[in-house]
Amino acid sequence: MKKIASAVGLSLFASLAHAQSSVQLYGLIDVGVEYLNHAGPGNASVTRMIGGNMAGSRWGLRGSEDLGGGTSAIFTLEAGFRPGTGASEIGGQSGRLFGRVATVGLQGGFGTLTLGRQAIVLNDVMFNYDPMAFSLYGLATLDGKFFGRVDNSIKYVSPVLHGVSASGYYTFGSDTVNGQGQVPGDAKVGRAFGLSVQYAAGPLGVAAVYDEAYPTTIALTNAGNVDKRLAVAGSYTFGALKAFLGYERHNETVAGTDGVLSNLYWTGLAYQVNPFLRLTGAAYDNEIVGTSAHPTSFVLNADYFLSKSTDVYASVSFVKNRTDGNTSSDAAVTGGADALPPGPGVDQTGAVVGIRHRF
């Protein structure tokens, strides 16, 4: 009897062991030194240590469990941090520990379905069509929405069929004034959704994305405010040379004002000199319709890989600002929380050298 019990116990243990999730600890550290002129209202220069130049520093856990039949349960928890200080990036992510990603879902022949806090499809898809791949001096400098993430969301990514794939997300919304949950009777508060379609086969890639978002406060939503974006982009590879071209139409309705209507264009070339060295040049032009605000930025980057996990880089960017001084649309070389915009109509130049390591 003891032998039978032992055999049953060992069999059960083996089954449970087989069903256990595989969990991976992963991350990326990116930090460098930047020189910036005309920084802030005083237009002074600054030399500073800055992180997230080629990619945001982060650490995370991801795992999967084989459920059989080609289907897996998956999860990801990802947190940002500042390598210069070691501080968690919760300040830039509204106090969230796992502010970059916190999802669980299913993956299989049907595609991938995830729920939680995650990137919008504008982020997922247009990353592939930015010459600078959303680096510090890249596309998201002129429109931070390309870094967009949402709470309380569900996202689906289809399998690739003959080079064609589609994706979409929907967030059930949140009220950031009275809490992070949905508002009974006000379904639009914090609601957002996006759809994309992409073709990528051989040297050619093209994509289109639509994104729509309502404010995360009851007052602004009920006032009729809404934020809409339509982006189209493409890339083509000629041997070691890859060309990029893209356009985004941004239409933001703001009650009591003219809102914001802008046309953002970008183009660039990336050249793989050899297996270790990649050179990139890009230009971004953002026309704010109805105003004289019209920032244009130019970027050059050299990225040298010391190994598969470690690279060193150098980037230079120049932003030409044209504005009437009655708008806050002057662009800074550096985007996001580290931006130090110049005074109205003042140009800005920045240069950064740094190192990035993946683990």
The 10s digit of each residue's pLDDT in 102-123 is: 999 999 999 999 999 999 999 9
Return d(Cα 11, Cα 20) in angstroms, integer.
14
pTM over 0.75: yes
| Residue 335 domain-assigned (yes or no) | yes
What is the pLDDT of the chain when averaged over all its residues? 89
CA 173: distance to chain centroid?
19
pLDDT value, residue 114: 98
| Domains held by the chain: number | 1
At residue 175, the pLDDT reads 65
* Residue 17 resides in a domain: no
Measure the CA–CA gap between 59 and 80, rounded to whole angstroms.
7
**Burial degree of 326 (CB within 10 A; 0-12, 13-18, 19+):** exposed
Top-confidence residue, 70 or 93: 70
Q: Could you tell me if residue 126 is inside a domain?
A: yes
Quick check: is 20 in a domain? no
Could you tell me the residue range of the domain that residue 323 belongs to?
108-358
176 band by pLDDT with thresholds 50, 70 and 90: low
22-39 vs 348-358, strand pairing mode: antiparallel
Helix (H, G, I), strand (E, B) or coil at 275: coil
* Residue 55 belongs to some domain of the structure: no
Q: What is the pLDDT of residues 260-271, one digit of tens each?
A: 899 999 999 999
Q: Is position 65 within any domain? A: no
CATH of the domain at 326: 2.40.160.10
List CB contacts of 16: < 8 A, sequence separation 6 or more: none
Residue 307's pLDDT band, with cuts at 50, 70 and 90, is very high
pLDDT over 80 (residue 258): no
Q: How far is CA 154 from CA 49, 102, 104, 192, in A?
A: 37, 12, 10, 11
Closest-CA residue to 43 (of 332, 298, 343): 343
Q: Is the pLDDT of residue 195 over 50?
A: yes
The answer to whether position 95 is within a domain reads no
Least trusted range by pLDDT, from 3-7, 284-288, 330-334, 342-346: 3-7
130-165 pLDDT tens trace: 999 999 899 988 898 998 999 899 999 999 999 999
Residue 254 CB contacts under 8 Å (≥ 6 apart), including other chains: 225, 260
Q: Is 3 a member of any domain? A: no
Q: Residue 20's pLDDT band (boundaries 50, 70, 90)?
A: low
Phi and psi at residue 165, in whole multiples of 5°? -140, 160
In the structure encoding, which two tokens stand for residue 168, read together? 């979409």
- Beta strands (DSSP E) in the chain are 22-39, 44-51, 58-68, 71-82, 87-88, 101-108, 111-119, 149-157, 164-171, 192-201, 204-213, 226-238, 241-253, 260-272, 277-288, 296-305, 310-320, 348-358
Q: What is the DSSP letter of 62?
A: E
